[in-house]
């Protein structure tokens, strides 16, 4: 039987030709889109640039000028936290599938690890001939009795307290007397000890310069913020400095204002340099992190117990959500075995402690 072409059969053939042509055109459009789409090395140029800038910022932080609102010291105070930008940029690089941004992120990662990677592990070990501790007890502490009892129970052999007030000093003396038979208070700073103290003297870190001699002695002593004393140990004398450096401020006019603190840093630096040689411990609220360039003179003479024998960054302030370690234990001539942050008391600073040995 002869095959008869019907209109429907013709329409089917045309439909198949149109479908094939449509598929062919769609393929061309896809190829054009793929060809015009930037490759993985060309994607995310802004992310790559930001990653490189972050790395260079951390690498060259010492070059940031301080004469403009103290920007250098401000950046160095919170330098570890700039590492948080790395996972943010990483998430953006993964979302954009940017190979260039991923490679650029290696710079800030390597720089951050070089600066702070050593603090990530626990470097403490058992031992210690003497335990020292320090806390800024806060002039507005609502519970000095509780704070004193918590610190007495810490096991410290030598305890430094700063930001003492005339009203609260008697409370600390009374509550700590049983644990610490020896103590000295020089203005707003004090040291309590299980071991005898001698050769105690104040260090004027506030009234410094040509006008210092015009300030009455009683007024200077009332507001004194640093001292030096000698602790008699079984291994010989240990020179102990206690200091509460001037406060820093951030404001729109002056930026990061550190003038008062920096004067104290220079005086304390000189006091340590010209003081007794041998075994030295510095305890105090220095109102700055040791990454801050202002402390270069002190850190060239003393080393941080937290850096040498701590676990982590050991942030101390503010107590409710610590973001910086401004309470320090620095040593020379002794070996830090461990360093740690004590539980919160009624203060806005966390106390710090370290075990040292000879």
Confidence of residue 227 (pLDDT cuts 50, 70, 90): very high
Lowest mean pLDDT among 127-136, 177-186, 207-216, 341-350: 207-216
The pLDDT tens digits for 48-58 are: 999 999 999 99
CB 134 within 8 A of CB 283: yes
CB 189 within 8 A of CB 164: yes
* Residues 6+ away with beta carbon under 8 Å from 343: 150, 350
Confidence of residue 254 (pLDDT cuts 50, 70, 90): confident
**Residues 206, 260: Cα–Cα separation, whole Å:** 7
Q: What is the mean pLDDT of residues 167-174?
A: 97
As a whole number, the mean pLDDT across the chain is 90
The pLDDT tens digits for 106-115 are: 999 999 999 9
From residue 287, how far is each of 132, 262, 329 by CA, in Å? 19, 10, 13
For the cut 90, the answer to whether the pLDDT of residue 2 exceeds it is no
Q: What is the mean pLDDT of residues 224-242?
A: 97
Lowest mean pLDDT among 14-23, 207-216, 330-339: 207-216
For the cut 70, the answer to whether the pLDDT of residue 36 exceeds it is no
| SS3 label, residue 162 | strand
* Residues 6+ away with beta carbon under 8 Å from 148: 171, 172, 175, 176
Confidence of residue 262 (pLDDT cuts 50, 70, 90): very high
Q: Bigger pLDDT: 2 or 263? A: 263
**E strand or H helix that includes residue 136:** strand 130-136
Q: What is the mean pLDDT of residues 153-161?
A: 98
CB 263 within 8 A of CB 327: no
Confidence of residue 35 (pLDDT cuts 50, 70, 90): very low
Q: What are the strands of the beta sheet with 226-233, ordered from one edge?
A: 197-202, 226-233, 236-244, 280-285, 327-332, 303-304
**Per-residue confidence (pLDDT) for residue 41, from 0 to 100:** 77
CB 131 within 8 A of CB 342: no
The pLDDT tens digits for 313-355 are: 999 999 999 999 999 999 999 999 999 999 999 999 999 999 9
For the cut 90, the answer to whether the pLDDT of residue 252 exceeds it is no
Q: What is the mean pLDDT of residues 126-145?
A: 97
Percent of residues, the chain, with pLDDT higher than 90 = 81
**Per-residue confidence (pLDDT) for residue 43, from 0 to 100:** 86
Tell me which residue of 132, 114, 116, 117 sits closest to 336, measured CA to CA. 132
* Residues 6+ away with beta carbon under 8 Å from 156: 131, 132, 133, 353
For the cut 70, the answer to whether the pLDDT of residue 3 exceeds it is no
Q: What is the mean pLDDT of residues 200-206?
A: 94
Confidence of residue 34 (pLDDT cuts 50, 70, 90): very low
Report which DSSP code applies to 181.
Answer: S
The pLDDT tens digits for 58-73 are: 999 999 999 989 999 9
**Per-residue confidence (pLDDT) for residue 23, from 0 to 100:** 74
pTM (2 decimals)? 0.86
Sequential DSSP letters for 183-229: EEEETTEEEEESS-EEEEEE--SSS-STTGGGS-HHHHHHT--EEEE
Tell me which residue of 147, 200, 156 sits closest to 174, measured CA to CA. 147
| Region label for 89, one of left (φ > 0), alpha (ψ between -120 and 50) or beta (otherwise) | alpha
**Per-residue confidence (pLDDT) for residue 174, from 0 to 100:** 98
For the cut 50, the answer to whether the pLDDT of residue 211 exceeds it is no
């Amino acid at each position: 039987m002869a095959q008869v072409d019907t209109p429907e059969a013709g329409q089917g053939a045309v439909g198949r030709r149109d479908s094939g042509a449509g598929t062919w055109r769609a393929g061309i459009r896809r190829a054009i889109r793929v060809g015009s789409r930037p490759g993985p090395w060309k994607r995310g140029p802004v992310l790559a640039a930001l990653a490189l800038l972050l790395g260079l910022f951390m690498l060259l932080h010492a070059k940031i000028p301080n004469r403009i609102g103290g920007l250098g010291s401000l950046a160095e105070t919170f330098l570890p936290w700039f590492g948080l930008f790395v996972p943010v940029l990483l998430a953006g690089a993964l979302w954009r599938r940017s190979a260039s941004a991923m490679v650029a992120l290696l710079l800030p990662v390597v720089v951050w690890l070089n600066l702070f990677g050593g603090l990530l592990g626990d470097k403490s070990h058992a031992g210690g001939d003497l335990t020292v501790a320090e806390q800024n007890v806060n002039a507005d502490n609502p519970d000095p009795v509780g704070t004193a009892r918590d610190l007495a129970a810490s096991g410290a052999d030598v305890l430094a307290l700063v930001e003492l007030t005339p009203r609260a000093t008697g409370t600390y003396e009374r509550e700590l007397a049983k644990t610490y038979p020896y103590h000295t208070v020089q203005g707003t700073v004090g040291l309590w000890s299980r071991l005898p103290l001698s050769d105690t003297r104040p260090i004027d870190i506030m009234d410094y310069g040509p006008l210092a001699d015009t300030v009455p002695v009683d007024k200077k002593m009332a507001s004194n913020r640093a001292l030096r004393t000698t602790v008699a140990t079984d291994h010989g004398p240990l020179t102990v400095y206690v200091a509460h450096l001037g406060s820093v401020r951030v404001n729109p006019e002056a930026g990061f204002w550190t003038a008062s603190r920096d004067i104290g840093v220079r005086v304390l630096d000189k006091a340590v340099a010209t003081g007794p040689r041998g075994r030295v411990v510095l305890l105090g609220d220095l109102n700055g992190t040791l990454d801050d360039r202002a402390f270069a003179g002190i850190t060239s003479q003393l080393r941080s117990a937290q850096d040498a024998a701590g676990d982590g960054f050991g942030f101390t302030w503010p107590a409710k959500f610590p973001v910086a370690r401004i309470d320090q234990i620095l040593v020379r001539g002794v070996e830090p075995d461990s360093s740690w942050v004590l539980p919160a008391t009624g203060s806005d600073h966390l106390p710090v402690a370290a075990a040292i040995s000879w």
